[in-house]
Structure 1
Amino acid sequence: MRWEGNRQSSNVEDMRSGGGGGGGFGLGGRSIGIGTIVIALVGGAVFGINPLTILGILTGGGGPVATQQQGPAPAPPANDPMAAFVSTVLGDTEDVWKQIFTQGGANYVEPKLVLFRGAVRTQCGAGQAAMGPFYCPADQKVYIDLSFYETMKNRMGAPGDFAQAYVIAHEVGHHVQNQLGITQKVEEVRARGNTAQTNNMSVRLELQADCFAGVWGHHADKSRKILEQGDVEEAMNAAQKIGDDALQKASGRAVVPESFTHGSSEQRQRWFATGLKTGSVKACDTFSARTL
């Protein structure tokens, strides 16, 4: 992936040293992330974290979380190559989505991206590195512990810089959903639906974020020629590794489609490919699709 020398976003906050960031009380809201399915299905076995604790976080349980009132976290150091990569990818998503929103007569509010290590307090509650990257609608921030990229490479068999960029673009996709009011509508359905309906809406939300990640890739490559040979395959491999069916198999469990919350490997690959091929937000309407 050709990213060196491209614009870096100034919306990256570095909380890895534990300073700065946040304020007020966490609202206990639902965080949305590419890695949440890892915890929901195999997190306890792989990472040694109590699944009930994680599920409480993901569903907004546990009540508000107090955080110390502090100023903004500092920007990452200029000599940090991974932070530079993340900042560049975020900047690229800003350029793409700003243009798309402007063409639609709307204003794109850029999200913040927070680098943390181990654990972090957010307006959606406490987050842990083992959850993988996630987006918090309450504070409009993407959170990532960069050690997740090592997990992708060494434990999940999903290496590559474009695979890493796909992860960020997916979380930014959740921010786009929040900006468009999609997240709020899904939460309303979840609040009054049964488990099957809730899971179905969650799958559609996640697959749309995958498709939006593809939309970013389409426009970024069209404008800046970021893709190199093998990049698309890297992202498709990552999408395959984090499909619900693949994770259930990896954990030694039976595949239960009714329990899916993020979509199968085939679905995640196909919707990402749809966005990448068309570059169209309308093509990403997973909520109207009869077949996912």
Structure 2
Amino acid sequence: MIATETAVMAIVLLLGTAAEPATISTTPLGVTQSVGQQKDPSPDPEVEESTGRLPKGEEASPGEHLGANLAGSDTAGYTMHDFLEYSVKDIDAFWSNVWEAAGYTQPEVEYYFPTPGEVTDTSCGPSDDETAAYCPADDLITFSQAMAVKIWEGAAKTNTDANSTYPAGDFSVAYAIAHEYAHSLQDDLGIIQATSGQTRRFPIYKTELHADCWAGIWANSTFHKGTLEPGDIEEAVRTTMDLGSYDSSDDQFHGTPAQRRDAFLTGWNSGVASQCDRYLLVDH
């Protein structure tokens, strides 16, 4: 894991519209097996209130799909909360195994999924319907269900680029949850700090791109478990590009659309967490 920041090289940040790659591999590089079965029709995203602490060791069964109704073929009662909770537990199970194999204490993080219009107070400020964030001071992922619906529908966008040719969907939301969970892992490792008065070890855009890459690492794991569905990676790529921006002088700059896309695909193609170190160590 990263211990210190080293300036390896400087790359001039090229501003402009992010071009999509001609093709996106639907399997990680070097893998030839087929991807899952055909995507099940996703239920309309609904909402319900929930809070909780992640249990350890829960994950999708082989062949069980993130976009499928967890109770079976009947989609009645399937909510956005169900999808968010299922996704975050799957992500937690994957990283718990990685942490255990590396000799680290298994990660823990709290989560809360506010209902539309609900305001939740955190040490990082109150939430609203646009909130999808990790608060280090509380070790808490707050992900508004209204925001999850926007991401699912491709309505969340932080730039004026033309919409990607790829659709958004359920895996767009799963990617966003995986990104926020990655921030909790960064906090565990001291990459980001829990106290607001501390000096940041890394610029925000570096930790954001690193989190995108680690979200791709988790996506790679869903392929190997057989839970990835056709179109899922394209959905995540669409969302990385929707949530990129171009004003590098902004304190909250997270990376350009192309940078965010490429960071996610680095994780997706490698499946190796250390391959994401470059996003902390190299200036982009």
TM-score, normalized by length of structure 2? 0.64
The Cα shift of 1:80 comes to 4.1
RMSD after superposition: 2.9
The Cα shift of 1:154 comes to 5.3
Residue in structure 2 matched with residue 48 of structure 1 by the alignment? none
From the two aligned structures, give the one with the greater helix fraction.
1
2-structure distance, mates of 1:85, 1:185: 28
CA contact (8 A) 2:114 2:120 kept: yes
Q: 5+ residue gaps in structure 2?
A: 1-35, 41-47, 54-75, 157-162
Residue in structure 2 matched with residue 107 of structure 1 by the alignment? 105
The Cα shift of 1:282 comes to 1.0
2-structure distance, mates of 1:203, 1:116: 26
Q: 5+ residue gaps in structure 1?
A: 5-11, 22-77, 192-199, 246-255
TM-score, normalized by length of structure 1? 0.63
Q: Which ranges of 4 or more aligned residues in structure 1 deviate by more than 6 Å? A: 1-4
1-structure distance, mates of 2:96, 2:248: 36
2-structure distance, mates of 1:185, 1:205: 14
Residue in structure 2 matched with residue 126 of structure 1 by the alignment? 126
Residue in structure 1 matched with residue 32 of structure 2 by the alignment? none
2-structure distance, mates of 1:102, 1:88: 21
2-structure distance, mates of 1:145, 1:185: 22
One-letter identity of the residue aligned with 1:175: S
> Aligned pairs, how many?
204
The Cα shift of 1:275 comes to 0.8
Question: Structure 1 residue 202 and structure 2 residue 195: aligned?
Answer: no
2-structure distance, mates of 1:227, 1:92: 12
The Cα shift of 1:185 comes to 9.3
**Higher mean displacement: 105-114 or 266-275:** 105-114
2-structure distance, mates of 1:134, 1:178: 13
1-structure distance, mates of 2:174, 2:238: 13
One-letter identity of the residue aligned with 1:124: C
The 3 A distance-change label for structure 1 pair 102 and 154 is closer
The Cα shift of 1:87 comes to 1.4
SS in 1 for 2:203: helix
2-structure distance, mates of 1:88, 1:97: 15
The Cα shift of 1:208 comes to 0.6
SS in 2 for 1:257: coil
2-structure distance, mates of 1:89, 1:162: 9
1-structure distance, mates of 2:114, 2:133: 12
Residue in structure 1 matched with residue 50 of structure 2 by the alignment? 14
Question: Structure 1 residue 277 and structure 2 residue 256: aligned?
Answer: no
